[in-house]
Structure formats: C-alpha cells, structure tokens
Structure 1
Amino acid sequence: MNVLNFVHDFLGDGAHWHGYDGIPTRLGEHLRYTLEALAIAAVIGLPVGLVTGHTGRGGNVLALIATAGRALPSFGLLVLLFIWIGLGLLPAMIPLVVLAVPPILVTTYEAISSVEPSPVDAARGLGMSETRVLFQVEVPVALPLILTGLLTAAIQIVSTATIAAYVSLGGLGRYIIDGLYQRDYAKVVGGATLVAGLALATLAVFWAVSRIAVSPGVRRRG
C-alpha cells in the first residue's frame, strides 16, 4: 500500500473519529500542549528580547542561550525529566518550552535592534518615555519579524509535541507511537499526516494574524 492508501484507510475509518482515542480528542490534546508551551515560551522570550533589543545590550548572551537551547535534544531531555519527575504533563512541557524560547528570544531581539534609529530618535526628541518608544515606535515596525519568531516556535512545538506520547500522554503522537507498537502503519501515517496538517494550519493562522496586526505601511515596506 502507498502512503495515500494508508491516509485514506485511517481517515476514512469512522472509529477514528469518536471516543477517547478519536481524532478530535487527540487533536484537542495536541493543541493544548502546543498553546500552553507557546504561551510559556512567549512569556519568557518576548520581554527579554524586547528589553535587550531596545537597550542594545546582551546580544552575545542571547546568542549563547539560543545555541544551548537548540543543542539540547528534546527527546533525551524528556526521558531524563520523566525519570526524575515521573508521569505528568511537566516532563513533556519543559522540553517544548526549552525548544521554543530561543527562536522567540533571538528573533525578538534582532527585530527590535534592527529598527532604523531615525524614528526612535525623533520619538525621544518629542519627549516620549523609553517605554512608549519601545511599544509605540519600535514594536509596530518590528512586529512582522517578531511574529516570524513566534511562528517558528509554534511550528517546532507542533512537530515535537508528538514526544508527549512517550510518557503516556495524548496528542497526535499517540497514533504514531501506538501504530508503531501495533504495526498499524495506517495509524502511523495517519498520525503523521495530521501533524503535518496542523503545522500547515499554524502557518495559515499566523499569516492571518500578520494581515490583521501589522499595519499596511509596514507590510508594503517589508
């Protein structure tokens, strides 16, 4: 059987659309893991990236943090945390957050620090406080690149959240793990297809957000 037949067999089976192991349930679990990890990573990465980008200090430190975060193997970290903490959402959430913070942090820093100095200097010349300069001048101009960092983090989380199934959690990774164990390759391919579809849907959501949040002038300039 080819891949398309596997996908058809999996998605065409009505039993996969109902119950605790149904696609809607597993998709909801996967979205929950993704949104929670992305929110935590954004709370950590955005403020630090905004402040360091605005002040122009700490770029080398951020580069080191980003390199260290990207070098950590998510699955290895998951196994270590599972052994240390035990079952639960926390061992799966920490690797996802660690994976997502570097792109948000570094991209936000680069977005703010790359804003042209002329409008920033003009705002300061008008007597605007540093906070107003950051949020009323720099952030609107840097928003497209900031959203790119969030998008990168979201795609990485969507793809990597499948590892939650290794510690007895749910999500779309459940189909991949269970399918491999059961030698049900239609389930494996179907689960992988759903993850890929969710990643594409994430791209579409961020495209829509950028069309709404970014001003037309900044979009044309970009």
Structure 2
Amino acid sequence: MSYLQYLFDPNSWTGSGGLGIRVGQHLLYSLIAVAIAAVIGVPIGMLIGHTRRGRVIVLGLANSFRAIPTLGLLILVVLLTQTSWIPVVCVLGVLALPPLLTGTATGIMQADQEAVRAARGLGMSGGQVLMRVEMPLAMPLVIAGLRSATLQVIATATVAAYVPGVGGLGRTILDGIPPRNYGEVLAGAILVAVLAIVIDIVLALVGRSFSRHLRLKPPRLTALTTAPTPAAEEQEQAAA
C-alpha cells in the first residue's frame, strides 16, 4: 500500500511538476501526434482505397514504419533539430500514421461494392461516392485504426521524457528511478495505463455509435443497392 501513497497524495497532483500537469502534457502530446497522423494518413488512405492505385507500395511503406525504433528516431530527430516537444510530437505522429492510413484504405476497399456501383449508376461523381457511400461504410475500420494509433502513441509517449525540458508521465517515471522512489514510478505507469484504457473505451463507444447509425439507416443503402441503373431502365422500356 505504501507504493500507492504517492498516487493518492494530494500534494503529488499540485505544482508545475505535479501529476495533474503531467497527465495534461501526456494527453496533449498524444492528441497532437494523432491529429497530425490523421491529417496525413486519412486523406492518403481515402485516395488509395478509392482509386486502388499505389496501395501495395504505400501501404507496404507505411507498415514498414512500425519497425522503426521510436527512441532511436526520437534521439536522431532531436539531435538534428532542437530540444523541444515539437520533434517528440512528430516522431509520435510517424508511429500513429500506419494504423490510420491502413485502416482507412482497407475500410474503403472493403466497402459494399454493390452500393458503390449503384451510387455510380445513379450518377454520383467519384467524390460523392467516396464521401457519401464508401467513407460511411469504412468508418468502423477507420475508428479501429484510430484506436490502435492512439493506444500506441499514449503508451510510447513516455519516451518523450528522454528529451530535456519535455514533460508527460514519462518524466514522472524517469524522475522516480534514480532515487528509487518506486511509488512515483508506479504512479506514472498506472496513469499511463488508465489513460490508454479510458481513451480506448471512448473511441470504442464512438465506433459503436457509427455502426449503430449505419444500421439505423438501411433504407438509404437499400435504395442505392436496389435502384435500377439507366441501362436497366432502358432494357425494361424496350421489353415493355
């Protein structure tokens, strides 16, 4: 129980180096990194999934990023740029990119092709098919990619503490190691795990709401898949 005293001590949550500030910093780094990865990865994934072009090369290259050692890349970027939180967020964004890009592209490629063909038969442009049919159908996999990326970033953001002047819960863990303050180390580790679990639950609820929303609107998809194409209408008129 003594190891948990630091976590539940009100004094540990106050001040510039308190747990409250460290949690906020950890969340800020993680959210910015995921946002950067989403701005880059989701549009590229949409383009690849919709056109089916370059998917082998781009997705293979994105998946190869998973093999990059995060700590080594972080140290390299910091040495080449400057010591601040910006390179930390950029490195974490590289880590979050593959799940988002892969999830978006795979979700669009696995969208119901009957609905896609029917939408095109109704005269929708490529952009309309992508935004109105393919993306809504792909949202479960997009959310799954977002969940995976967010969990990886939250867990890996602890390496930000290796950069001088950068906070986060990793700083709490590192600060507790030299003096063997295992209560501080345990507090940082527990909070990282709690953050990951809470964020994952929130994103899971968001994904479930998207799935429920799609299930509640079957007439729209049914209308698309059952609507006759212009060629079919001509055949029916000729037969009549």
Q: TM-score range by the shorter chain?
A: over 0.9
One-letter code aligned to 1:171: G
TM-score, normalised by the number of residues in structure 1: 0.92
Which residue pairs with 2:86 in the alignment? 90
Distance 1:65 1:81 in 2: 20
User: Match for 1:189: what amino acid?
Assistant: L
Gaps of 5+ in 1: none
Check if 1:178 corresponds to 2:178.
Answer: no
Hey, what's the Cα distance between the residues in 2 that align with 1:215 and 1:128?
A: 25
- 1:218 positional shift: 4.3
Matches within 5 A, 1:93-132: 93-132=89-128
Helix, strand or coil for the counterpart of 1:214? helix
1:33 match? 29
Q: Tell me the equivalent position of 2:191.
A: 194
Deviation string 1:44-85 (CA, Å, 9 cap, x unpaired) is: 000000111011111111232123211110000111112211
Q: Which moved more, 1:115-124 or 1:59-68?
A: 59-68
Whether 1:49 and 2:45 are equivalent positions in the alignment is yes
1:214 to 2:221 alignment: no
Identity among equivalent pairs (%): 43
3-state DSSP of counterpart to 1:127: coil
Structure whose CA Rg is larger: 2
Tell me the number of residue pairs that the alignment of Structure 1 and Structure 2 aligns. 217
The runs of 5 or more residues in structure 2 that have no matched partner are: 219-240
2:25 paired with 1:19: no
Q: TM-score under structure 2 normalisation?
A: 0.86
Instruction: Tell me if the contact between 1:46 and 1:104 (Cα under 8 Å) persists in the aligned partners.
Output: yes
Task: Pick one of 58, 64, 70 that aligns with 2:66.
Answer: 70
Distance 1:185 1:13 in 2: 14
Q: Deviations over 1:111-170 (max 9, x none)?
A: 100112100000000001111101110111110110000110000110011111110201
Root-mean-square deviation (Å): 1.8
> How far apart are the structure 2 equivalents of 1:70 and 1:5?
38
